[in-house]
Structure 1
Amino acid sequence: MALIKRVAILGGTGAQGSSVVRNLSKAGTFEITVPTRNPSSAEAQAVGALSNVKLLQADYLTEAGIRSILANQDGVYFNMNSFAVTEPSVYFWTFRAYEIAVQSGLKLFILPGSINRYKAHGYKEEFRNAHGAISGRLSDWLSSQPTDILPWSILYGGVYAEMLWTLLKPRVRDDGVYEFAAPIGDGNIPFIPLEDYGARVRWIFEHPEAAIGKKLDWGLLYTSYKDLVQAFEETTGKQAVFKDLTQDEWFDRLRVIRAPETKFPDSGLSDDDTTFTWRRTFGAWWNYWKYNDHTRDPKREKEAEAYANEVYPTRLKSIKEWMVANKYTGTR
């Protein structure tokens, strides 16, 4: 297969995308284009200062913007922000970008995706959320497209381990005990360090022949809250407990960050039935993890872990290793 050299990274100023840009920049072999609506923003300026990175003022929610982003590129990492863009727009512009990528002669189209957990649970409404349903549906769609027209890869992800500093951060009780609280029961979360996205995308662009037509889910860190508490205590020497909440209790705690009845994503209108509330979308999100065993495939996970160890031997292999590497203390 022809060399992948010129690449466009959509979402390159965000948390996930900036990890991708940093890793590609370190490689020193790529010409990286990062589209942004606001090149003067602090996030854009930070990635724009990296070696071999060019900022492009463009909007991926317009035909002209997509064409300018994909012009003269070998590959694209197509990561739309479904936390900010409504569901119909994500579908339409992903489909349209795929068509324009074919017209533009791209050699590789990488989509960050996921298991379609909503479908796996029989399309029960309590498992339909915004981000997960979009990601799962688009993964199903792209996996049915022919690779001879446009080679593609789907990169399965998980929950950012860095969320343990934000939404999943423990609170310190009056007795000094760290309380990790969530409506998850005996379920488990597939964590992934943000830096892993960069390492994995770089590997795909460097080894496209090994990734075309595949769904890659390199060794996610499936972690129960019992395991999370144990890793925290062993890492920090601090006492911690897990408190299994109801969803109503968890959303009551969320109010200090976001009112549960506000619209999701942020651009959604109050009368738009294609949007959700934060309560509804994160309620389904928690149902994913509480009943995660229903969608897990132990054989596939073992194969993915072995493959990850082979091609990415320096990766962090447990949430405990992530805590050690990041000097995690439960607070910032």
Structure 2
Amino acid sequence: MSSTKKNILIIGGTGAQGLPVIRGLLSPSPSTGSPSPYTVTVLTRDPTSRRAQSLLSAFPDSLTLLKGSFTSESDVRLALSGCWGAFVNIDGFATGEALEIFYTMRCYELALEAGTVRLYVHGNLDYGYKNSGWDPEMRCGHYDGKGRAGRWILDRNKELLSSPGGGTTMRAALFTTGPYIEMSIASSTPMTPRVELERDSSSGGGDPALTWYLPLGRDGAVPHVALDDCAHYVRWLFDNPDRADGMDLAVAIGHIRYDEMAEAFTKVTGKKARFVDVNLDTYFNGSPYWKAVGSRPCGYTAGSADPPPGFMTVRENFRGFWNLWRASGGNRGPVKRDYELLDEIHPARIRTAEEYFRREDEKARKDGRGSLWDAVVAAKPVLKIHEDKELRARADGKL
């Protein structure tokens, strides 16, 4: 790879968010069309995986796959060597909340130690527990772990930069996302819909309808993020390190109610769609998946026999997850976004569920998957953890 370009380390590069982030960094400039000034090193446990190899095929001259893990300090040191930037998005569902905080802090400290990193971007989520005024009903471990560590990074970096002899010129920023809108039409997510017959009282039959059974309440809304937009936002941060310094760039399409989601889906596809509000108990008990995993640790490497600090079950974690969105409708409550800022940074961003669904319908037709409706009926995972499970099941002959 060219030594004249700035190398950026990506941790979490084969995840749902990492793929568009890398595409955004290595594609030509969105404003001028000039070649990217960056190269990328991806630290990955499995360089032979389908996602890793797809990245290498797309960017053979500007991307390096480095076998290793963020849990190994020697691996992270090697990966950071000579890097100009770093984008670190640790998988909290692998580690659990406590270990995610530890590894996030160590990755940041190792970037300081490397001495060459000029912009460090932490893949972040909203610190909903703090934002709610410490309401225990809003406690969501996989959000609070990232949010807590993110605040520490910004505070610590500001202190180091302003202190004489602080020993660093490294800037730091947060990239705060939320539930991907792709999760609303994918399999194995907290908001996966069902395709079911809508009852016709006269005939006993009915037309198929896409139905979301979610504990959102009448006014709750999800600040959904479009993965394609992540490519632009993260590229903007690295292209503008002076402005990015100290910034918490919190992004979303909008605070979307699920009655709006259903209306938009019907408008685009011509198929029936609906949102059914349910309480939390019905949500968790009405799904075989949630019933099966609800009592497991939220963090599949976190043991429950000797619970680590902050131990939460999957059900406890996602109870707080849904309570955050129930309380955040109308861009009020614990999770807010500055949409005027997002319009400035990304004028072409996706702004509505209808716009997103129209783009997905076009993609499905172009890719030979039929219409958006056909793609949703044959929904696939968007999150890497569930794609990996499906691939293992296929390899074992269980699918």
The match for 1:71 among 59, 73, 81 is 81
| Paired position in structure 2 for 1:331 | 377
| Paired position in structure 2 for 1:84 | 94
Q: Is the 8 A contact 1:116 1:133 kept in 2?
A: yes
Q: Distance in 1 between matches of 2:243 and 2:152?
A: 21
Q: Distance in 2 between matches of 1:40 and 1:67?
A: 22
Question: 1:204-219 to 2 correspondence within 5 Å?
Answer: 204-219=237-252
The match for 2:229 among 173, 176, 196 is 196
User: Are 2:334 and 1:295 aligned?
Assistant: yes
- Letter in structure 2 aligned against 1:184: L
Question: 1:209-248 to 2 correspondence within 5 Å?
Answer: 209-248=242-281
Task: Report deviation, 1:268.
Answer: 1.6
| Paired position in structure 2 for 1:275 | 311
Q: Which blocks of at least 5 consecutive residues in structure 2 are unaligned?
A: 29-35, 162-167, 199-207, 362-371, 379-399
The match for 1:144 among 155, 173, 196 is 155
Task: Report deviation, 1:270.
Answer: 2.2
- Choose 142-151 or 195-204, whichever is displaced more: 142-151
Q: Distance in 2 between matches of 1:126 and 1:305?
A: 27
3-state SS of the aligned residue for 1:158? Answer: coil
Q: Is the 8 A contact 2:324 2:335 kept in 1?
A: no
Deviations 1:179-199 (A, max 9, x none): 221011021100001122222
3-state SS of the aligned residue for 2:152? Answer: helix
| Paired position in structure 2 for 1:47 | 55
Q: Is the 8 A contact 1:179 1:241 kept in 2?
A: yes
What TM-score do you get using the length of structure 1 for normalisation? 0.92
Task: Report deviation, 1:142.
Answer: 1.8
Q: Is the 8 A contact 1:58 1:68 kept in 2?
A: no
- Letter in structure 2 aligned against 1:221: G
- Letter in structure 1 aligned against 2:67: Q
Task: Report deviation, 1:262.
Answer: 2.1
The sequence identity of aligned pairs, in percent, is 28
- Choose 216-225 or 57-66, whichever is displaced more: 216-225
Q: Is the 8 A contact 2:97 2:141 kept in 1?
A: yes
Q: Is the 8 A contact 1:16 1:194 kept in 2?
A: yes
Q: Which structure 1 residue ranges, 4+ long, deviate > 4 Å from structure 2?
A: none
Q: Distance in 1 between matches of 2:311 and 2:52?
A: 28
Relative contact order, CA 8 A, sep 6+: which one is greater? 1
3-state SS of the aligned residue for 2:95? Answer: coil
Task: Report deviation, 1:4.
Answer: 7.7
- Letter in structure 2 aligned against 1:238: K
| Paired position in structure 2 for 1:35 | 43
Deviations 1:91-148 (A, max 9, x none): 1121112122112121011012233210122323322222111122122212212342
| Paired position in structure 1 for 2:175 | 155
| Paired position in structure 1 for 2:126 | 115
Q: Distance in 2 between matches of 1:295 and 1:181?
A: 23
The match for 2:209 among 171, 177, 182 is 177
| Paired position in structure 2 for 1:285 | 321
| Paired position in structure 2 for 1:311 | 345
| Paired position in structure 2 for 1:262 | 296
- Choose 8-17 or 175-184, whichever is displaced more: 175-184
Q: Is the 8 A contact 1:4 1:205 kept in 2?
A: no
Task: Report deviation, 1:159.
Answer: 0.8
Q: Is the 8 A contact 1:4 1:74 kept in 2?
A: no
**Larger Rg computed on CA atoms:** 2
Task: Report deviation, 1:296.
Answer: 4.5
- Choose 182-191 or 50-59, whichever is displaced more: 50-59
Deviations 1:225-258 (A, max 9, x none): 1211221121122222221111111112332465
Tell me: CA distance 1:93–1:219, structure 2 relative to 1, closer, same or farther (3 Å): closer
Tell me: CA distance 1:146–1:256, structure 2 relative to 1, closer, same or farther (3 Å): closer
| Paired position in structure 1 for 2:364 | none
Deviations 1:152-200 (A, max 9, x none): 0111211101101232232223222332210110211000011222221
Task: Report deviation, 1:306.
Answer: 2.5
Q: Distance in 1 between matches of 2:341 and 2:327?
A: 26
The match for 2:135 among 111, 124, 142 is 124
Tell me: CA distance 1:219–1:306, structure 2 relative to 1, closer, same or farther (3 Å): farther
Tell me: CA distance 1:278–1:96, structure 2 relative to 1, closer, same or farther (3 Å): same
Q: Is the 8 A contact 1:34 1:54 kept in 2?
A: yes
Q: Is the 8 A contact 1:4 1:206 kept in 2?
A: no
Q: Distance in 2 between matches of 1:322 and 1:220?
A: 9
- Choose 286-295 or 268-277, whichever is displaced more: 268-277
| Paired position in structure 2 for 1:187 | 220
- Letter in structure 2 aligned against 1:322: Y
